[in-house]
Chains A and B, each alone.
Chain A
Amino acid sequence: MTRHPDELLAAYVDGDLDDADRRAVQTHLRSCERCGREVELATHARRALVALPDVEPPAGTAFRVLREARRPPATGRAWRIATAAGIAASLIAGAVVLVQRVDLGGGAAQTATESGGEAGPAAPAPAEAGAAEEATTTRSATLAPRYRASNQRYAPEDMPRVLDRLADEANRLLASDQAASDAALADGTPDRRAAAAMRCSTSAIRGATQIQDPGIPFVFERASFFNVHTGAYVPGYVAAYLGPGPTGDRPGSLFMTVVDRQTCDRLLYYTPPVEL
């Protein structure tokens, strides 16, 4: 027995010691005034604490917490889904312009996004003229955590290469552990967020189009989706999918969707027609 068995004294006051320890403590207490005094004080304190009544929490905590948590983050990196005209810095614009240049067999691809973003299918904007022409485009450099806009120019013959690279990235993300994807819904590295968003978008896409296999999905980023009707920002994911082409050997269709980050509800869905 150590000189003053502080560790044992707490349990002694609780009445929690086994016989051997209890006897040892009692032996010590018989000859130690300090510990005897302390045990008495401790007993008194414990009794007083045990008798303390619970206090009632205020009402409405859950509601306030959920409301607080749904606010857009103060440091919001909020990208608005832009019109084709104002696309310089917008990521989704990268997808838009990519879609414009997707030319998997000839003919112009039509494309558009909804400005602001309303729920429901988006109407295609008038097609850009001249599918064979080069155009200024922005692109997402990789599916890495940082997305950069660039003024890279792409010729139509570049596009298959770009699509292949995007498809590889998407496959890599798809191979992520499912549990990690689940965890990523709330937090996690950007790659894992992307994987989680993909799943979210997958279910939304399936619901919208009855596509059993939406093909090779890939994801751009989180975004705040601005609802022009309510004037509210909703945290969401912007996702784009490459769907299978008619022969099934390469991507031939593109689906875009914006989903609510919390509920995975589809907020915006668009599939630009591609002529082959």
Chain B
Amino acid sequence: MADPTDEVLVERYLRGDRSAFAELVSRHERRVYNLAFRMLGRREDADDAVQDTFVTCLRKLGSFRGASTFTTWLHRVTLNVCYDALRKRGRERPEEEAPERAAPDDPATEAVASVDVHRALQRVSEDFRAVLVLHDIQGRPYEEIAEAIGVPVGTVKSRLHRARVALAEALGVEQRAPRAASKVEGNE
């Protein structure tokens, strides 16, 4: 028997099956937590954000009625919860640390410590961070991201490009020879 879709679980919950919502949480908590953690930078903040996200979803489940997919809606709620949390946090920024320099030799095998990537993510703007996490980390398609954050698809694409550049600069990547286009993977 095929697993019920998210939308079927929503229906079941609205008809009084509480376990259907528990199933939805199980299904999506990893995704929501990772999005929140990368957006907010700190585990305890991510814990709160996940709680807030699912409680908000629970309360608003009746008004989610297939206007988008459940996942897209969930991402939208998660991002809004994160933006609220970031706003409340205020202008305080995590400590600036000198990022490790990327290994200069072989671009194909250089490894950047994940903690540095995480820190660099916290240094770019929230808008950039959102598209970087949704697209490059979570692999969401452009259309879904566009719907979740409420901008056109073209905006998502150009924002993603600029966000990647900003992240690389935050990572302290050294510039190499400008005519490296032919070495970029995947475009031969």
| A contacts, CB < 8 Å to B | 6-15, 22, 26, 29-30, 33, 36-46, 48-58, 61-66, 68-69, 182-188, 200, 262-264
Contact = CB atoms under 8 A, between A and B. Distances in A.
A262 B178 contact: no
A9 B163 CA distance: 12
B186 A15 contact: yes
Contact of B171 (A33, A36, A48): A48
Contact of A186 (B14, B22, B54): B14
B109 to A, nearest CB: 10
B157 A10 contact: yes
A69 B154 CA distance: 38
Contacts, number: 182
A49 B162 contact: no
Nearest to A184: B62
B76 interface: no
B34 A55 contact: yes
15 contacts: A6-B157, A10-B164, A12-B184, A15-B187, A38-B161, A48-B117, A48-B167, A48-B171, A49-B132, A55-B34, A56-B30, A61-B25, A61-B51, A200-B16, A262-B18
A39 B184 contact: yes
A262 to B, nearest CB: 6
B185 A186 contact: no
B10 to A, nearest CB: 10
B85 to A, nearest CB: 16
Interface of B: 11, 14-16, 18, 21-22, 25-26, 29-30, 32-34, 37-38, 43, 47, 50-51, 54-55, 58-63, 65, 102, 107, 110-112, 114, 117-118, 132-133, 136-137, 154, 157-158, 160-165, 167-169, 171, 173, 175-176, 178-181, 184-187
A44 B168 contact: yes
Contacts of B15: 182, 185
A57 B14 contact: no
B30 to A, nearest CB: 5
A40 B111 CA distance: 15
A10 B160 contact: yes
B62 A62 contact: no
